[in-house]
Chains A and B, each alone.
Chain A
Amino acid sequence: MTAVLPSRPVVDRPVGGRLIDQFEYGLDAPICLTWELTYACNLACAHCLSSSGRRDPNELSTAEAEAVIDELQRMQVFYVNVGGGEPTVRPDFWHLLDYAIGHDVGVKFSTNGIKLDKTRAAQLARTGYVDVQISLDGATAEVNDRVRGVGSYATAIRALENLAEAGMKDFKVSVVVTRENAGQLDAFKELTDSFGAQLRITRLRPSGRGADVWDELHPTMAQQKDLYNWLLANGDGVLTGDSFFHLSAFGEALPGLNLCGAGRVVCLIDPVGDVYACPFAIHENFLAGNVRSEGGFQRVWQQSELFADLRNPQTGGACTKCAHFDACRGGCMAAKFFTGLPLDGPDPECVQGYGESALAARDLELVTPRSHIDHSHSGPVRGQPTLLGIPSIPSKICDESPLAGLDLR
């Protein structure tokens, strides 16, 4: 495991100083824990970070999930970000939601809205300490459904209507910024405001099936610059999960934590209980342990070798010599890893342009790392995304390429 990480000298935690420097050395429990409850999903989004689709037969049982919640309460993890897959398709989802809230573990959950009918919306509106995020990757059905699948826009809008009608407060519209929707930020804001909701935008990572579409969907450099300016102008009213910290190298630091939190303040518990350094790093190289093992989640978080390794400041590599290193700290570990870049080098979307050069300098023979965890639907899915085109029998050799016949606009 240590082989994937450039060696970092073990340094003692400083006393006092900035919080960001303290976070670099890790916390006793995560602040931002993502827990994916199931790999099952009714959709087949082209960019799914966890390659979800089919349920894994080994997923945590209700009793095991309750035990994780008990442990999070003991560790004083005050809230979790629940996702999937589509978490609400788990039959015990609503039970686990109540169980967590009853144990002082608040829940923010992400959903495509499939189960949020009027009854569930009213139930959520009555429940304190729960946050709902509806995923939407286009401000119009045309842009959204190309990536998330035909009908998914209508499903999300219906859920938003139900939540608004039920009087739910502070629910979120959660957007992954892509090349196709980067021009819709104002439209997203308007749409969100019209429901009395809050906009949350996050960064597209080349994780899971996202790796297959990253080349064509990640924002262009010009779009990144526009996004940065938009965030500076609108940042106070928009949530970002601190995911755009690589943009801070444009100049002014963005609000929030401008640091890779993987294994330091952030981690992922996946549906089978595996603990990864971050939700975008579902790969054996970033697997720290499993909540079912002795000592549970707490032992994994506090004692895993991988996390200990991540909790040292980066001192080597090309980026540390860059004038902007303090602003972006080298960017996103997962984005580098899944594009085949060295972890102590620039982010593939480095706004100073070092990422583009690094991508161009990759060995032509390079096979980018892929996760062996893949729960994608194996057959056709109703309303599947049209982004990748409709599979057909190849008539020419070049049609074998997944990009063949693609409308690149």
Chain B
Amino acid sequence: MTAAVTPVEPPAEVVFDPARPWQRARSVALRPEPFGALVYHFGNRKLSFLKSKTLVAVVEALADHPSASATLAACGVTDAQHPAYVKALADLARSQMIEPRETP
């Protein structure tokens, strides 16, 4: 990761579609904390927090699964918890902490 990232352009409206593949944004670092993690975007210098360790695991595992929904299932997120996690990921997408992944 390089710090000399050009500040990102104002976000085009990011629509979070859990059926698509996602990944932690390339300009973003996660710092583990006892409650979850601190998320830092080197481009826009925004700081955010992941308030559960499961959410940390989900964000890190996004890149390994064909969709966000598949990632949630793989990380053991139950159906009851599903909407809350989708909302959290949508928030992260809006703040550019996660980004859509181009499928090869």
The answer to whether A and B belong to the same complex is yes
Contact with B along A92-131 (1 / 0, CB 8 A): 0000000001111110000000000000000000001100
Cα distance A101–B40 in the bound complex, in angstroms: 15
Known: A16-B52, A19-B49. A129 touches B34 (CB 8 A): no
Query: Closest CB-CB distance, A247 to chain B, in whole Å?
Result: 23
Among A21-29, A268-276, A365-373, the stretch in contact with B: A21-29
Chain A residues, CB < 8 A from B35:
13, 15-16, 19, 22
Known: A76-B29, A101-B3, A129-B3. A106 touches B45 (CB 8 A): yes
Task: Give the secondary structure class of B's interface.
Answer: loop
Contact of A79 among B4, B5, B45, B49 (CB under 8 A): B45
Contact with A along B3-39 (1 / 0, CB 8 A): 1111100000000000000000000010111110010
Interface residue? B80 (CB, 8 A):
no
How many chain A residues touch the partner (CB < 8 A)?
Answer: 21
Chain B residues, CB < 8 A from A28:
31-34
Contact of B3 among A19, A29, A31, A104 (CB under 8 A): A104
Query: Closest CB-CB distance, B92 to chain A, in whole Å?
Result: 15
Cα distance A129–B49 in the bound complex, in angstroms: 21
Chain A residues, CB < 8 A from B32:
28
Interface residue? A78 (CB, 8 A):
yes
Most chain B C-beta atoms within 10 Å of own C-beta, residue among A29, A105, A129: A129
**A residues 25-61 with Cβ under 8 Å of B?**
25, 27-29, 31
Cα distance A106–B47 in the bound complex, in angstroms: 13
Contact with A along B42-60 (1 / 0, CB 8 A): 1001010101100000000
Chain A residues, CB < 8 A from B51:
16, 19, 22
Chain A residues, CB < 8 A from B38:
27, 31, 76
Known: A19-B49, A129-B4. A13 touches B34 (CB 8 A): yes
How many chain B residues touch the partner (CB < 8 A)?
Answer: 21
Query: Closest CB-CB distance, A131 to chain B, in whole Å?
Result: 8
Chain B residues, CB < 8 A from A104:
1-3, 29, 42
Let me know if B52 and A128 touch, CB within 8 A. no
Closest to A103 in B: B3
**A residues 58-106 with Cβ under 8 Å of B?**
76, 78-79, 101-106
Let me know if B3 and A128 touch, CB within 8 A. yes
Let me know if B29 and A78 touch, CB within 8 A. yes
Contact of B5 among A13, A16, A27, A128 (CB under 8 A): A128
Cα distance A13–B35 in the bound complex, in angstroms: 9
Chain B residues, CB < 8 A from A27:
33-34, 38
Chain B residues, CB < 8 A from A103:
3
Cα distance A186–B32 in the bound complex, in angstroms: 41
Contact of B42 among A13, A15, A129 (CB under 8 A): A129
Chain B residues, CB < 8 A from A13:
34-35
Contact with A along B78-90 (1 / 0, CB 8 A): 0000000000000
Closest to B40 in A: A78
Closest to A21 in B: B35
Query: Closest CB-CB distance, A27 to chain B, in whole Å?
Result: 5
Let me know if B34 and A78 touch, CB within 8 A. no
Query: Closest CB-CB distance, B87 to chain A, in whole Å?
Result: 16
Query: Closest CB-CB distance, A340 to chain B, in whole Å?
Result: 35
Known: A78-B40, A101-B4. A25 touches B34 (CB 8 A): yes
Known: A28-B34, A101-B4. A78 touches B42 (CB 8 A): yes
Chain A residues, CB < 8 A from B4:
101, 128-129
Let me know if B3 and A106 touch, CB within 8 A. yes
Chain B residues, CB < 8 A from A78:
29, 31, 40, 42, 47
Cα distance A102–B5 in the bound complex, in angstroms: 11
A-B contact pairs, 29 of them (CB 8 A): A13-B34, A16-B51, A16-B52, A19-B51, A22-B33, A22-B35, A25-B34, A28-B32, A28-B34, A31-B38, A31-B47, A76-B29, A76-B31, A76-B38, A76-B40, A78-B29, A78-B42, A78-B47, A101-B3, A103-B3, A104-B2, A104-B42, A106-B3, A128-B3, A128-B6, A128-B7, A129-B5, A129-B42, A129-B45
Other than the given A16-B35, A78-B40, A106-B45, 4 more pairs (CB < 8 A) read A22-B51, A76-B29, A102-B3, A129-B3
